[in-house]
Structure formats: structure tokens, C-alpha cells
Amino acid sequence: MTNHYFSQTPGSESDPKFWEYLLKGRKFRFKTDAGVFSKKEVDFGSRLLIETFEPPEVEGPFLDAGCGYGPIGLSVASAFPERMIHMVDVNLRALSLAKDNAVLNQIENVNIYESDRLTGVVEQGFAAVLTNPPIRAGKKVVFDFFRQSYEKLVKGGVLWVVIQKKQGAPSALKEIESLFGRAEVIDRSKGYYIIKAEKC
């Protein structure tokens, strides 16, 4: 029985909960469940990424890679209603929750669908990819997120990543630099790094 948040079908018994959380100055109501990442509150890393993110000047949709039940993608969609936000995850329970949460919070500029990493994302030319990658899935999976994000970004598009120092931020930074040519740490807080890299 699989019960990881990065499993396609979590084995844990469903036990939905509802709670409210303030993100980017707006109160959101979230439905969460067993078998998804950070089910009791929006985790610190995601919050830091949400509050730090700034939209690039280039046109195009945004992509929330590994969206879970939706806090990153939905808060960004709410803050930037002129953009379409694609939200993808391998976890079918998380995707169902993200769709419910889009309805709960009356957010329509989102496209929520299944993807193992970014292999299910057909669209190209994203202006931004945001990810709090599934560290426990292993380095290869995390690095696949970075490589596939680079391939999906338009020229001038930006990758935004949050990752803990103790969970591999230094090696992630090196990998992103090797893909993009350069990367910068925008913020550090409580052991979390916000890494930003622009596709030139």
C-alpha cells in the first residue's frame, strides 16, 4: 500500500478537513485530506515562495509544478487574474482537492490536471514555473522538475524553487545553475532557500 504524497493513489483512508489560511492578503478556505503534503496548514516553504514570487515581464501562463491541494497555484491565480495558471501533480487525491479548492475560492483562471513531473504538460512557453518539489521522491525526480521546467519556459521565463538547505538546496542550486547558466538565491528564511533562475 502506497501512502506517500508523491504517490499517484495514496493508500491512506480519506478523512477530509476544512480550514482557512491567509495568503497574499487574501483569506482562502482549503479542503485537505490524508495522503497529501502538509494537510494541516500551508507549509512554511510554500508560504515563503508565495509571498516572494514576482511575475516576470514576459507574457505567458504560469505553471505550479507539484501543486498538491493547491495553495501555491490558487494564491498566485488569485493575485494575477490576467494569467492562466496550470497546476499539475501526480497525486490524484491532491488534484481532486485542488479542483475543489478552486471552486471553494471562486478561482477560474486555472487548469488543473495530472502529470508525472512535467511529462503530462503539453503546453510550451510558460512565463514562470513555481515549485516546492517533492524532496522525498529523491534527487532524480527533483532534478527532473528543474530540467523539464527549463524546457517548458519561454525565453525570459523564470523558474522559482523553494527548498530547504538540509534537504539539498546547495546541490539544487548547482543543478539549476548548470541548466540556466546562472541562478540566484532571492531569500533565505528558517533554513529555506528561494531560488530564482531566468531562461536566457
Q: How confident is the model at residue 1 (pLDDT cuts 50, 70, 90)?
A: very low
Over the stretch 59-69, which tens digit does the pLDDT of each residue have? 999 999 999 99
As a whole number, the mean pLDDT across the chain is 92
CATH number at residue 73: 3.40.50.150
Q: Which distant-in-sequence residues (6+ apart) come within 8 Å of 149 by Cβ?
A: 63, 65, 118, 129, 131, 159
Number of domains in the chain: 1
The single residue listed with the C-alpha cell 497525486 is: 91
Strand ranges (E), the chain? 17-23, 26-32, 62-65, 85-89, 110-114, 126-131, 153-164, 184-189, 192-198
Assigned domain for 118 exists:
yes
Domain assignment present for residue 5? The answer is no
Note whether residue 12 is domain-resident: no
Name the residue range of residue 25's domain: 17-198
The pLDDT-based confidence of 155 (bands split at 50, 70, 90) is: very high
pTM score? 0.92
Q: What secondary structure letter does DSSP report for 14? A: P
Dist CA 158 CA 147 (whole Å): 13
Q: Does residue 120 fall inside a structural domain? A: yes
Which are the contacts of 133, defined by CB distance < 8 A and separation ≥ 6?
65, 66, 141, 142, 145, 146, 161, 163
Length of the chain: 200
Q: Does residue 136 lie within any of the structural domains?
A: yes
pLDDT band at 86 (very low <50, low <70, confident <90, very high): very high
Largest CA distance in the chain: 46
Q: What nine digits make up the cell of 56?
A: 516576470
Let me know if residue 9 belongs to a domain.
no
Within 10 A of 104 (CB to CB), how many other CB atoms are there? 16
Nearest by Cα to 150 from 133, 129, 131, 168:
129
Residues 49/59, Cβ–Cβ less than 8 Å: no
Kindly report, residue by residue over 14-37, the tens digit of the pLDDT.
888 888 999 999 999 999 998 787
Extract the C-alpha cell encoding 194: 528561494
Residue 6 falls inside a structural domain: no
Residue 10 lies in a domain: no
